[in-house]
Copies of this chain bind each other. A is one copy, B any other.
Amino acid sequence: MTGADLTPATMLTAMRRERPLVHCITNYVAMNIAANVVLAAGASPAMVHAEAEAGEFAAIAGALTVNIGTLSPDWVKGMRAAATAAAATGRPWVLDPVAHHATAFRREATAGLLALSPTIVRGNASEIIALAGAASRGQGVDSRDSVAAAEDAARALAAGHGAVVAVTGATDFVTDGTRAVRIDGGSPLMPQVTALGCSLTCVVGAFAAAFPRAPFEAAVAALTLFAVAGERAAAGAHGPGSFGWRFLDALAAVDGAALDAEARVAQA
């Protein structure tokens, strides 16, 4: 494929054909739903976290995702071992810095992981704003807790770290520091289901595994798949419970043609 061919639709089809192995280190809340989401998206998840094997395993998988949701010192060691091995073997890895600004332990762990050069960073607006603020030590990052501030923070973070940055919310935003897009869709029910954002991080890893040299397009494809599936799942849902299983059905049912017809991606 050439760059112009890398649409969410063509990438979904290609990713499913390859069915990449995604090494997910994620939190206890997300473990089950993230594995189900990755399966429904069409990839193969593996949850492997211990320092004793995380590095060895990261070199087997197609991509690594690291989410710090339910953190402990032993897990930080496993995350660092895996991220180091992913970087050393040229595999993309995705960082999801959940609530990284809440405690000193979390701030230190995140700084250590950020230093290992994640290929992609995914977070919500407040996480990306805080991360850009911490990274720039206050060098001009707007502190407005708003969509515009999050987009500015994402651009600054991307430029400063050479990473693709994805901010998810009612409208998603993805940038590599130069290019940027906004993605609409999804449903207000999505934040009412726990760990869907964490699960999305694993799907970003699935696309990055299939397209290791196109992390910007990979992030856009993953977020677009979520937005389209979320919009479909909301039709017929009567609350977070009925949305949850409908979302898995929708993720599995959405194909390239559906993405072409229903995606709402715009240059930013």
- Report A141 CB to chain B, min CB distance, Å: 23
Q: B240 and A39: CB pair below 8 A?
A: yes
A42 to B60, CA, bound (A): 39
Q: Which of B53, B102, B194 contacts A35 (CB 8 A)?
A: B194
Q: A244 and B239: CB pair below 8 A?
A: no
Kindly state whether residue A29 has any CB partner on chain B within 8 Å.
yes
Tally of A interface residues using CB under 8 Å: 53
Kindly state whether residue A241 has any CB partner on chain B within 8 Å.
yes
Q: Which of B52, B69, B241, B253 contacts A247 (CB 8 A)?
A: B241
Kindly state whether residue A171 has any CB partner on chain B within 8 Å.
no
Q: In the complex, which residues 30-62 of chain A have their Cβ closer than 8 Å to any Cβ of chain B?
A: 30-33, 35-36, 39-40, 45-50, 52-53, 56-57, 60
A236 to B81, CA, bound (A): 44
Q: Which of B32, B53, B99 contacts A71 (CB 8 A)?
A: B53
A103 to B55, CA, bound (A): 10
Q: A47 and B29: CB pair below 8 A?
A: yes
